[in-house]
């Protein structure tokens, strides 16, 4: 199934959906070919639903990652601005009036 990363979940879901058809096939109510056709249709349906769910979850995860990146960049910029606001950018000697000289 293109677009689905967890193919094993699609197969398990299709088997669970088509399980009643297998019971009917073993009981003789329907032919085995009909049960296999139903399994194939269940695979297609579960693959399509899985792709839709996966794309929806990926979309929300991408939006959340983007917001987290923007928050961290803003935090880093604020930290950088706070750091450089305490420094003398022109290279002059820092104000030592508040320091105690020993010796």
CA–CA distance, 41 with 53 (Å, rounded to integer):
18
| 94: confidence class by pLDDT, cuts 50, 70, 90 | low
Residues 25, 7 contacting (CB under 8 angstroms): no
How confident is the model over 9-60, as pLDDT tens digits?
999 999 999 999 989 888 888 899 999 999 999 999 999 999 999 998 888 8
Residue 54 contacts by C-beta under 8 Å, 6 or more apart in sequence? Answer: 3, 4, 5, 6
CA–CA distance, 92 with 84 (Å, rounded to integer):
14
Calculate mean pLDDT across residues 76-97. Answer: 70
Q: Does 93 score more than 80 pLDDT?
A: no
Residue 72 contacts by C-beta under 8 Å, 6 or more apart in sequence? Answer: none
């Amino acid at each position: 199934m293109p677009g689905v990363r967890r193919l094993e979940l699609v197969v398990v879901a299709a088997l669970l959906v088509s399980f009643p058809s297998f019971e009917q096939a073993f009981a003789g109510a329907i032919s085995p070919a009909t049960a296999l056709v139903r399994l194939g249709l269940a695979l297609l349906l579960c693959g399509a639903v899985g792709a839709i769910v996966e794309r929806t979850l990926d979309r929300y995860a991408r939006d959340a990652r983007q917001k987290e990146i923007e928050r961290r960049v803003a935090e880093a910029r604020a930290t950088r601005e706070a750091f450089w606001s305490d420094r003398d950018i022109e290279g002059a000697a820092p104000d030592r009036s508040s320091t105690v000289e020993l010796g």
